[in-house]
Amino acid sequence: MEEIPESHPRYESLLTRHRIEDGVERGITSTQGLIAQGRGEAFDYLLGEETIPSADEAARAAAAQLLLADHPVVSVNGNVAALVPGEVVDLAEATGADIEVNLFNRTAERMTAIADHLREHGAEEVKGLTADARIPGLDHERAKVDADGIGDADVVVVPLEDGDRAEALAATGKTEVVVDLNPLSRSAQAAAVPVVDNIIRAVPNVTGHARELAGATQEELEAIVGEFDADAARTAAERAVREGELVS
Ligand code: PTJ
């Protein structure tokens, strides 16, 4: 793979593309993941490729929500595994969350390749391969979860999720933290905490907030969650996208 100089004005964006390409070559990311990445990039471009203040507030609320949870789970698909494998392991460690592979285009080969990739990045346990529970209201393959993972979770982080599944998961009463660059996607709309930011920035940011909040009391964490306004965060992100400049 060609080396990208850090001085390149689009360094982050090019690095992200290379990671996704590499994910496809390793059998981790689906070819549809390339399209999803392109869709996300367009929104990121309009956001100025930075974490806007409302996304930072959402990341803090997400961290508080995860620290308050009885059983938090971070769901990982092919794009997430390619882009932020080590960062997901850090997030799980900082919040006591389980990691579960959950795919839109599920195959046994991709499930194993992603679980191995996460283990290579430090994950001790990766759930998702047992698939002994189902999310109600979805067709067979997309509904598969582990009974002692997402099936039992009270708070689930679902980055870059398909809208149907995000809605079905929210309908089970679980609290959803969604990371999605499109504030109007059905996933972002279904979320209790929508983090409208690139996963590359969002996951380390939630981890940073979780580490900062590690000593906070339950009341303090509940106050952060209670003060967070998901509709206001989506509206602020939509405004930022609509007012975004088309310059690189
Ligand atoms: O690995 P699989 O089989 O589970 O498939 C995963 C994809 C992402 C292919 C699948 O879930 C899918 O098709 O997703 P969608 O419906 O294209 O939705 C992806 C959403 O993520 C879109 O709203 C994008 O704007 C957003 N997105 C894409 N890249 C990023 C992103 N959000 C944050 N960070 C990104 N890097």
Whole-number Å distance, alpha carbon 184 to ligand 1 midpoint, is: 13
Would you say 43 and 181 are in contact if contact means Cβ atoms under 8 Å apart?
A: yes
Whole-number Å distance, alpha carbon 51 to ligand 1 midpoint, is: 18
**Rounded Cα gap, residues 21 and 174, in angstroms:** 33
Whole-number Å distance, alpha carbon 215 to ligand 1 midpoint, is: 34
Q: Report, as an integer, the average pLDDT of 33-44.
A: 95
How do residues 223-244 score in pLDDT, each as one tens digit?
A: 999 999 999 999 999 999 999 8
* Token pair listed for 54: 């409302």
Q: How confident is the model at residue 246 (pLDDT cuts 50, 70, 90)?
A: confident
Of the candidates 62, 56, 55, the residue with the CA atom closest to the CA atom of residue 238:
55
CA 135 to mean position of chain CA atoms: 18
How do residues 56-95 score in pLDDT, each as one tens digit?
A: 999 999 999 999 999 999 999 999 999 999 999 999 999 9
Residue 5 has pLDDT above 70, yes or no: yes
Q: Which residue is associated with the tokens 């974490």?
A: 51
Residue 31 has pLDDT above 80, yes or no: yes
* Token pair listed for 190: 């279904």
Bridge partner residues of 157 (DSSP): 74, 177
pLDDT at 10: 74
Q: Report, as an integer, the average pLDDT of 90-117.
A: 97
Q: Which atom of ligand 1 is nearest to the CA of 199?
A: 34
Whole-number Å distance, alpha carbon 162 to ligand 1 midpoint, is: 7
Residue from 41, 79, 83, 241 whose mutation best tests the ligand 1 pocket (most atoms within 8 A of CB): 79
Q: What are the DSSP calls for 179-205, one per residue?
A: E-S-TTSHHHHH-SEEE-S-HHHHHHH
Q: How confident is the model at residue 2 (pLDDT cuts 50, 70, 90)?
A: low
Residue ID of nearest Cα to ligand 1 atom 16: 162
Q: How confident is the model at residue 126 (pLDDT cuts 50, 70, 90)?
A: very high
Q: Which helix (H) or strand (E) holds 72?
A: strand 72-76
Domain locations in the chain as residue ranges: 53-243
Whole-number Å distance, alpha carbon 23 to ligand 1 midpoint, is: 14
Residue 1 has pLDDT above 70, yes or no: no
22-58 as b/e: b if 16+ CB within 10 A: ebbebebbbeebbebbeebbebbbbbebebbebbbbb
**Rounded Cα gap, residues 94 and 81, in angstroms:** 18
Residue 105 has pLDDT above 70, yes or no: yes
Residue from 19, 102, 110, 160 whose mutation best tests the ligand 1 pocket (most atoms within 8 A of CB): 160
Residue 111 has pLDDT above 60, yes or no: yes
pLDDT at 248: 59
Residue 55 has pLDDT above 80, yes or no: yes
How do residues 196-223 score in pLDDT, each as one tens digit?
A: 999 999 999 999 999 999 999 999 999 9
Residue 142 has pLDDT above 90, yes or no: no
Q: Does 33 sit in the ligand 1 pocket, CB within 6 Å?
A: yes
Q: Does 26 sit in the ligand 1 pocket, CB within 6 Å?
A: no
Average pLDDT, the chain: 94
Q: Does 213 sit in the ligand 1 pocket, CB within 6 Å?
A: no
- Tallying the residues shown for the chain, one arrives at 248
Under CATH, to which class is 53-243 assigned? alpha beta
Residue 121 zone, left/alpha/beta (φ > 0; ψ -120 to 50; rest): alpha
Residue ID of nearest Cα to ligand 1 atom 9: 33
Q: Does 233 sit in the ligand 1 pocket, CB within 6 Å?
A: no
Q: Report, as an integer, the average pLDDT of 44-50.
A: 93
Please give the share of the chain, as a percent, with pLDDT higher than 70: 98
